[in-house]
């Protein structure tokens, strides 16, 4: 708990720090700013390899809806397809799908999403490499973006708490809190942004995984942008570290 309080204090204090970033037309699930239209398709190709030689490639298809300015609502459905290779062998198939819904809004230059979500046990747990957790999980999350200096600077973060369910073997793992951010960055050109920061996954039993997360985002138009993401393990306790790279493709319609 002391570790969690320290991290939360750092996040809060950094919201007062001037950092470089810029506006983009298309937006993402880890930010508090809505996209320019009501609907967005977000397709993410994610590769990760851990220190225990487990390789996972996931194609995560996300459909998002949002409305309102000062106040509105938003929701998403996430459908992952996984390819896993380990010493046990190779498996692929549908992972655990998720759906979430909640209010969103803006207070001057502060933008936010609040939502509750459920992860469903749609992934096959009987294969050599389990494609899902085999349980229902409930999540509560807060996503924020704060703009300053005529929206030339911003800070983004997400705090998400997961209430883990019990699987078929009556195993209920510790609840988790995920802190993504602070993410800071700057405008390289009119269409390219570089943003970097940290993420931390903390379990109630004290296990954790701390990563760095760096993003290069290219805006093609109001309706389309691409994002390249690199995640690298920094520190951990009883959760395997890993390195990964992802490509996000977002279409507003």
Convert the pLDDT of each residue in 183-206 to its tens digit.
887 778 888 888 889 999 999 999
Domain limits, the chain: 2-197+224-252
- Across the range 57-73, mean pLDDT stands at 93
pLDDT band at 90 (very low <50, low <70, confident <90, very high): very high
Work out the pLDDT band at 17, boundaries 50, 70, 90. Answer: very low
Other CB atoms within 10 Å distance of the CB of residue 128: 11
Rounded Cα gap, residues 97 and 91, in angstroms: 17
- pLDDT at position 217 is 87
pLDDT greater at residue 183 or residue 164: 164
Q: Which two tokens stand for residue 146?
A: 């704060």
The candidate with the shortest Cα–Cα distance to 143, out of 176, 175, 183, 108, is 183
Mean pLDDT, range 165-178, rounded to an integer: 92
Q: Which two tokens stand for residue 189?
A: 């050109």
List alpha helices for the chain, DSSP H: 2-14
73 HSE (CA, 13 A, CB side): 5
Burial class (CB in 10 A: 0-12, 13-18, 19+), 238: exposed
Q: How far apart are CA 215 and CA 49, in angstroms?
A: 18
Q: How would residue 69 be classed by pLDDT, with cut points 50, 70 and 90? A: confident
Which tens digits make up the pLDDT trace of 198-239? Answer: 999 999 999 999 999 998 989 898 889 999 999 999 999 999
Q: Vertex 30, ends 218 and 240: CA angle to 5°? A: 100
**What is the maximal distance between C-alpha atoms in the chain?**
54
**pLDDT range class, residue 30, cuts 50, 70, 90:** low
**Residues counted in the chain:** 253
φ/ψ (deg, to 5) at 205:
-85, 5
Segment 169-174 shows an average pLDDT of 91
Residue 218 backbone dihedrals phi, psi, to 5 degrees? -120, 120
């Amino acid at each position: 708990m002391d570790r969690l309080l320290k991290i939360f204090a750092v996040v809060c204090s950094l919201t007062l720090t001037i950092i470089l970033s810029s506006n983009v037309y298309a937006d993402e699930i880890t930010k508090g700013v809505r996209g320019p239209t009501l609907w967005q398709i977000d397709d993410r190709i994610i590769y990760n390899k851990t220190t225990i030689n487990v390789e996972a490639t996931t194609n995560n298809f996300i459909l998002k809806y949002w409305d309102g300015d000062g106040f509105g609502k938003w929701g998403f459905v996430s459908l992952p397809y996984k390819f896993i290779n380990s010493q046990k062998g190779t498996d692929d198939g549908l992972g655990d799908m998720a759906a979430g819904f909640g209010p969103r809004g803006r207070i001057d230059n502060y933008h936010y999403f609040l939502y509750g979500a459920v992860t469903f046990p749609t992934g096959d747990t009987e294969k050599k490499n389990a494609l899902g957790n085999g349980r229902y999980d409930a999540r509560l999350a807060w996503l924020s973006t704060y703009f300053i200096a005529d929206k030339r600077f911003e800070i983004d973060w997400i705090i998400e708490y997961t209430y883990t369910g019990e699987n078929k073997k009556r195993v209920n793992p510790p609840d988790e809190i995920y802190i993504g951010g602070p993410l800071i960055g700057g405008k390289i050109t009119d269409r390219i942004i570089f943003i970097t920061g940290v993420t931390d996954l903390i379990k109630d039993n004290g296990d954790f995984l701390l990563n760095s997360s760096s993003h290069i985002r290219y805006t093609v138009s109001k309706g389309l942008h691409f994002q390249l993401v690199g995640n690298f393990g920094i520190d951990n306790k009883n959760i395997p570290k890993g390195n990964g790279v992802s490509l996000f493709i977002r279409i507003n319609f």
